[in-house]
Amino acid sequence: MLAFAPLHGAVTVAATAVTWLADTLHPLTGGAATAAAIVLFTVAVRLAISPLTLVQVRGERRRAALAPQVRDLQRRYADDPARLQSEVFGLYRAAGANPVAGCLPALLQAPFFLVMYRLFSTADGGTGLLDERLAGVPLGWHVSDGLGGAAGPLFGVLLAALLALAWWSSRRARRAAAAAGTVAGTPTEGPGAAVLGRLIPLLPYLTVAVAVVVPLAGVLYLLATTAWTALEQAVLRRPQAPAPAVG
């Protein structure tokens, strides 16, 4: 059990934060206070890692600017994959475009999601959060627990919203890959590039699959963080205006 002590401590801290937020929001949101607190907790998490998201976007733009040089290296070292990979990584390193940095925001969200899952799936938090409800449905309720009463319409609306966001994100991913002419984030085109290019647009739909097996509180977290990601994509990854020509 000692191995889970840090997780238990994180769950306790999260429970305290969510409870405080719910108490603060209760005059405004009534019975939906805890659900609203989860959404605000998610927003706080995303704001905390937003600097890394900005670094990710800048890296993507640097890699896009280097695309002509990468294609030139691909032509020059087409018969030497090891040399090609070395040259491309060297080019990225010199330009400060780290292809690995793009994974950090997604990786850092995983611990927060695990904490939220534990908080509403067990009694780790030591509070009554498991009994809190949204539209009469306990926040610890799973789809597998049944869809009778208000559970069916509530899960239906949330899953439909997640599906719509997944479709939108997948569409953007396909457009970005087509515009780049290669798979975003991969330094070279190798045998797996085509497979990866087909898989990346499907990744947003994994959120919908996860939402089917996590409690209602986890679905709210997933919906809030996915909506935040969509907003970031719309704002931070909007097309850049071309630089004015210098006379």
Predicted confidence pLDDT, tens digits, the chain (247 residues): 444 566 778 888 888 889 999 999 999 999 899 999 999 999 998 898 888 777 777 777 777 777 788 888 888 888 888 888 888 878 877 776 666 555 666 677 778 888 877 887 765 555 567 778 999 999 989 999 999 999 999 999 999 999 999 999 888 777 766 655 543 344 444 444 555 556 667 788 889 999 999 999 989 999 999 999 888 878 876 655 554 444 4
Cβ contact 22:33 at 8 Å:
yes
Residue 154 near residue 135 (C-beta atoms within 8 A): yes
CA 149 to chain centre: 31
Amino acid found at 101:
A
- Number of Cβ within 10 Å of residue 174's Cβ equals 14
Predicted pLDDT of residue 32: 92
Which two structure tokens, joined as six digits, stand for 112? 């927060």
| Burial 87-105, CB ≥16 within 10 A → b, else e | bbeebbeeeebbbebbeeb
